[in-house]
Every structure is written in structure tokens, then in C-alpha cells.
């Protein structure tokens, strides 16, 4: 990737540390405690957050969020169809009239004043298609609790807070150029048109998160199509950002405005949330999250039932925000022995693989699959705790019952 993430992280961390003194954002344990209401029982009271049907065979319902069931991807193609792609909403999917909708760009990083584009304006610009994953930073969060014994608040995702789609749209760099971005711009911040996000009594405003200009110009897309269809309401209609490899929150949906700034921008989504807090992280929290970690999932339900004495072709997918996945190893005995899985193809967004298993003994078994990324790094068996339960990158222990 062209952008130097390490130096971005350092710069951001320094900026954050110098500001937080007067922002009184109460980061750390208090923040996690205040956040704990989200995704709990109260969240399911917010029915109607998601527009599309959520059949229980395809989704695990988490209130305002819906997780893809991995078993529903078995036998499917490379991309996740729109009707089974996970949804992560801070509040609810808005209804947007595209005839009156405008994308407004403004800020100190533009030559002139604010600039607006209509939907037709965007459709008329050079289009590009990319195949990329969108993955929630909290994907796998429940495993901090069940596998590592360290409970964390927030939506208890298993591994289905991810999807890969073919996104078509206009490069953000094209839009920024046409809006008159200057070389002094350092950050751009897209803002969603969904309702303000409330955390208890605190109104955090529109969902928005700064993106450094380097990443915005490198490979970020303003997408208006998903898998060949008009972007569905739940996934950001009329336009959303696709920020390849970066954490889910970067991919702002229902974009209404983009601030282009010659000075660094801040929002709760790069100061309070989406950073790592905890004993093994810097005292004020880590730099804002950027790339996702590597993960691997079986296309099987949790506690799947398999018959003893039969050959089972296990299937799964592996992905990494650090690049592509080079190989996958599988253990069917809880991690004592490992063998290579068979890769299918060499696609980048994720790697599909198969592994043939003939369980002999009935009983409870633990399946494990570990991804090795293209830099040669393999998923660890355990990852350090963080208070919001982000970036669970350890090998998942998948329980199955052999009967
Ligand atoms: N405007 C807006 N954009 C948003 C969100 C949101 O709640 N509002 N959720 C973010 C998060 S946390 C994730 S993981 C992804 C989820 O995208 P999806 O719902 O299309 O799967 O959207 C991101 N973009
Ligand atoms: Mo997310």
C-alpha cells in the first residue's frame, strides 16, 4: 500500500495525546463501561433499524446490527450477495430522496468555497469497480469473552461481521480533484445522513470519521453500486465510502458531506471509539485503528453436527487487512496437529479453501483454521485484550459435535 501507515499512526497518536487533555473524553475503562449498553438487550428494542429482511437462516440478529451466518456462504460464489451481507448501523438506515440529495464538499483544504455534486454528476464521472471486504472492527468480539475469558461490551459478533462485494463508483480522488482540493489538505471527513448517534446523554452527532488524504487519494472509492445493483438502503444508498483493508467504520454510509481540511480533523470515531485501550496499550489509547487483522472462518454453524466415520469436505474463507492470505492451516484436534488446507483460486479480498476431515470418534471437537498473510505472519492463538474488544485476530476455536 502506498500510504505509510506507521507514520500516520504516530502522527495521529501525538495529535490525540496533545488534545485529549482539554477534550475530557474520559477514555479508558470509563469509556468501555459507558459503551456497554450498546448491543445489549436495549439494542434489540430498536427494531426497524435495518430495512432488508433478516431471515434467521441467513442472519444472527443483534438489534441494530445483523451478522452473516457463515454456514449460509457454503457453496456460494466469491462475493456475499446483497441480501445476506452483514449490516452494522449505529442508529438506523435513513430514507434518502436521491432527486434532492447532494454531496457537499467544504473546508479549508479547498481552493474555493463549498462545492456540490448531484447523484447524476457522480454517475457521469469515470467509474471504477473493485472487489473488497468491509469488516467491522468488532468482528469476532464475542471470542474475547468465550475464548480468552475477558468479557468486553458491545455487539457480541461471532465471525460474521464481514462481507466481500464488488463495489462500483467513482474514485474519491476524482471527486476531491473536481472539488478543488489543495496540496495543503491533510484530512477528509465524510459524514453520514443517518440520525445522530447518542451514547447515554451525550450526542456524538452524525457518524463521521477523518481519513488521511494519502489513503483518500490512494484507493478509496465513493461507491454507488454493490454487486451490480444500486447500493441498497442498508449499505449506504446513494453513496458510501469503500476504504480498502481499513476498519469497517472507515466505510461511511449515506454520505451527505465531506469536509476537506488543511488541519487535522477529529471525531468521536477516531478519538473515543476505534482505538485500543487496555493494559498492554499506550496509556491514552492506541492510534486510531486503520487496517484490519487476519481472520479465518469455517462455513459451518457454531456447534455444527457432523456424523462420525464419514468424509466431510470442510470449507471456509480467510482474509487479512495486512494484504492477501497466502495459506491456511487446519487443526481438528484443538491445536495439537496442523495440516494445510487446499486453496481455491488466488483472489485477494479473501481466500476460499477446503479441508477434508473424517472424524472417527463421536463427541465434542474443536476445529481451528489459521491464516498466514502474504508477509508470512500467521494468526496467533491468543491476542492482547482491549476494552472495546476490537480486532480479534487470534485463531477461532470452532466447536462441533460429532455424532
Ligand atoms: N453513516 C454511517 N456509516 C457507517 C456506519 C453507521 O452506523 N453510519 N457504520 C459503520 C460500521 S461500524 C461498519 S462495520 C460498516 C458496516 O457496513 P455495512 O452495514 O454495509 O455492512 O459501516 C460503517 N459506516
Ligand atoms: Mo464496525
Residue pair 300/398 in contact (Cβ under 8 Å)? The answer is yes
Residue 269: predicted pLDDT: 97
Pocket test for ligand 1, best of 190, 206, 251 (most atoms within 8 A of CB): 251
Could you tell me which residue, 265 or 6, shows the higher pLDDT?
Answer: 265
Above pLDDT 90, what percent of the chain? 86
Summarize the confidence of residues 352-378 as an average pLDDT: 97
| Rounded Cα gap, residues 265 and 263, in angstroms | 6
Distance (Å) from CA 136 to ligand 2 centroid: 3
List 291's β-bridge partners, or say none.
246
- C-beta of 253 in contact with ligand 1 (< 6 A): yes
Summarize the confidence of residues 42-63 as an average pLDDT: 82
Helices (DSSP H) in 189-290: which residue ranges?
A: 213-218, 268-271
Summarize the confidence of residues 394-399 as an average pLDDT: 98
Q: Which atom of ligand 1 is nearest to the CA of 85?
A: 21
| Rounded Cα gap, residues 388 and 264, in angstroms | 25
Asked if residue 40 has pLDDT above 50, the reply is no
Helices (DSSP H) in 40-123: which residue ranges?
A: 41-44, 119-123
- C-beta of 383 in contact with ligand 1 (< 6 A): no
| Rounded Cα gap, residues 44 and 38, in angstroms | 10
Distance (Å) from CA 134 to ligand 1 centroid: 9
Asked if residue 147 has pLDDT above 90, the reply is yes
Residue pair 316/296 in contact (Cβ under 8 Å)? The answer is yes
Summarize the confidence of residues 300-304 as an average pLDDT: 98
Residue pair 143/377 in contact (Cβ under 8 Å)? The answer is no
Asked if residue 27 has pLDDT above 90, the reply is no
Could you tell me which residue, 37 or 297, shows the higher pLDDT?
Answer: 297
Tell me the whole-structure pTM to 2 decimals. 0.91
Tell me whether residue 62 is exposed, middle or buried, using C-beta atoms within 10 angstroms of its C-beta: 0 to 12, 13 to 18, 19 or more: buried
| Rounded Cα gap, residues 245 and 260, in angstroms | 22
Distance (Å) from CA 363 to ligand 2 centroid: 36
pLDDT band at 347 (very low <50, low <70, confident <90, very high): confident
Residue 348: predicted pLDDT: 86
Pocket test for ligand 1, best of 87, 249, 391 (most atoms within 8 A of CB): 249
Summarize the confidence of residues 160-188 as an average pLDDT: 98
Pocket test for ligand 1, best of 59, 207, 256, 267 (most atoms within 8 A of CB): 207
- C-beta of 156 in contact with ligand 1 (< 6 A): no
Above pLDDT 70, what percent of the chain? 88
Residue 346: predicted pLDDT: 77
Distance (Å) from CA 138 to ligand 2 centroid: 6
Summarize the confidence of residues 48-63 as an average pLDDT: 97
Tell me whether residue 48 is exposed, middle or buried, using C-beta atoms within 10 angstroms of its C-beta: 0 to 12, 13 to 18, 19 or more: exposed
Instruction: Specify the residue with its C-alpha closest to ligand 1, atom 23.
Output: 249
Closest CA to 320 of 372, 385, 355: 372
Residue 47: predicted pLDDT: 66
Residue pair 209/97 in contact (Cβ under 8 Å)? The answer is no
β-strand pairing of 312-320 with 294-298: antiparallel
Which of 37-51, 278-292, 350-364 has the lowest average pLDDT? 37-51
Asked if residue 167 has pLDDT above 90, the reply is yes
Residue pair 167/182 in contact (Cβ under 8 Å)? The answer is no
Residue 10: predicted pLDDT: 52
Which of 4-8, 66-70, 236-240, 302-306 has the lowest average pLDDT? 4-8
Asked if residue 19 has pLDDT above 50, the reply is no
The number of the ligand nearest the C-alpha atom of 269 reads 1
- C-beta of 192 in contact with ligand 1 (< 6 A): yes
Model confidence pLDDT, tens digit, residues 81-121: 999 999 999 999 999 999 999 999 999 999 999 999 999 99
Summarize the confidence of residues 189-206 as an average pLDDT: 97
β-strand pairing of 221-226 with 115-117: unpaired
Asked if residue 3 has pLDDT above 60, the reply is no
Residue 334: predicted pLDDT: 92
| Rounded Cα gap, residues 23 and 161, in angstroms | 31
Distance (Å) from CA 254 to ligand 1 centroid: 9
Pocket test for ligand 1, best of 58, 88, 204, 392 (most atoms within 8 A of CB): 88
Question: What Cα–Cα distance (Å) separates residue 271 from each residue in 182, 260, 287?
Answer: 26, 19, 9
Task: Count Cα atoms within 13 angstroms, Cβ side, for 326.
Answer: 9
| Rounded Cα gap, residues 128 and 105, in angstroms | 21
Instruction: Specify the residue with its C-alpha closest to ligand 1, atom 21.
Output: 87
Which of 8-17, 109-118, 174-183, 380-389 has the lowest average pLDDT? 8-17
List 260's β-bridge partners, or say none.
188
- C-beta of 355 in contact with ligand 1 (< 6 A): no
pLDDT band at 345 (very low <50, low <70, confident <90, very high): confident
- C-beta of 90 in contact with ligand 1 (< 6 A): yes
Question: What Cα–Cα distance (Å) separates residue 209 from each residue in 79, 326, 377?
Answer: 26, 31, 29
All domains of the chain in start order, with CATH: 38-265 (3.90.420.10), 295-402 (2.60.40.650)
- C-beta of 252 in contact with ligand 1 (< 6 A): yes
Mean pLDDT over each residue of the chain, to the nearest integer: 91
Q: Residue-wise over 284-313: b if at least 16 C-beta within 10 A, else e?
A: bbbbbbbbbbbbbbbbbebebebeeeeebe
User: Grid coordinates in use for 20?
Assistant: 485529549
Amino acid at each position: 500500500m502506498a500510504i505509510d501507515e506507521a507514520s500516520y499512526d504516530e502522527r495521529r497518536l501525538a495529535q490525540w495525546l496533545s488534545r485529549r487533555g482539554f477534550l475530557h473524553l474520559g477514555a479508558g475503562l470509563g469509556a468501555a463501561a459507558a459503551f456497554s449498553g450498546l448491543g445489549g438487550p436495549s439494542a434489540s428494542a430498536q427494531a426497524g433499524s435495518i430495512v432488508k429482511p433478516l431471515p434467521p437462516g441467513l442472519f444472527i440478529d443483534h438489534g441494530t446490527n445483523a451478522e452473516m451466518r457463515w454456514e449460509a456462504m457454503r457453496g456460494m460464489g466469491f462475493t456475499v450477495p446483497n441480501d445476506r451481507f452483514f449490516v452494522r448501523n449505529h442508529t438506523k438506515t435513513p430514507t434518502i430522496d436521491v432527486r434532492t440529495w447532494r454531496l457537499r464538499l467544504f473546508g479549508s483544504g479547498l481552493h474555493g468555497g463549498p462545492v456540490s455534486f448531484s447523484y447524476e454528476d457522480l454517475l457521469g464521472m469515470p467509474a471504477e469497480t473493485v472487489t473488497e471486504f468491509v469488516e467491522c472492527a468488532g468482528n469476532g468480539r464475542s471470542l474475547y469473552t468465550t475464548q480468552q475469558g475477558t468479557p468486553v461490551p458491545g455487539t457480541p459478533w461471532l465471525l460474521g461481521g464481514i462481507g466481500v462485494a464488488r463495489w462500483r463508483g467513482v474514485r474519491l480522488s476524482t471527486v476531491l480533484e473536481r472539488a478543488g482540493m489543495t496540496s495543503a489538505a491533510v484530512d477528509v471527513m465524510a459524514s453520514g445522513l443517518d440520525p445522530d448517534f447518542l451514547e447515554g446523554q451525550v450526542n456524538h452527532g452524525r457518524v463521521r470519521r477523518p481519513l488521511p488524504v494519502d489513503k483518500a487519494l490512494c484507493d478509496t472509492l465513493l461507491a454507488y453500486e454493490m454487486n451490480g445493483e444500486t447500493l441498497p438502503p442498508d449499505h449506504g444508498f446513494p453513496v458510501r465510502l469503500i476504504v480498502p483493508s481499513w476498519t469497517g467504520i472507515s466505510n461511511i454510509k449515506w454520505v451527505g458531506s465531506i469536509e476537506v481540511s488543511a488541519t487535522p480533523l477529529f471525531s468521536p470515531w477516531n478519538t473515543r471509539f476505534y482505538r485500543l485501550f487496555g493494559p498492554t496499550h499506550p496509556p491514552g489509547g492506541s492510534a486510531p485503528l486503520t487496517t484490519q487483522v487476519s481472520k479465518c472462518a469455517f462455513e459451518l454453524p457454531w456447534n455444527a453436527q457432523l456424523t462420525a466415520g464419514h468424509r466431510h469436505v470442510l470449507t471456509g474463507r480467510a482474509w487479512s487487512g495486512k494484504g492477501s492470505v497466502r495459506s491456511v492451516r487446519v487443526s481438528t484436534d484443538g491445536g495439537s496437529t496442523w495440516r494445510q488446507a487446499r486453496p481455491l483460486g488466488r483472489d485477494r479480498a479473501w481466500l476460499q479453501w477446503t479441508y477434508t476431515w473424517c472424524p472417527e470418534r463421536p463427541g465434542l471437537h474443536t476445529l481451528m483454521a489459521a491464516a498466514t498473510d502474504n508477509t508470512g505472519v500467521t494468526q496467533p492463538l491468543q491476542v492482547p485484550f482491549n476494552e472495546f474488544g476490537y480486532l480479534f485476530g487470534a485463531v477461532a476455536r470452532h466447536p462441533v459435535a460429532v455424532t
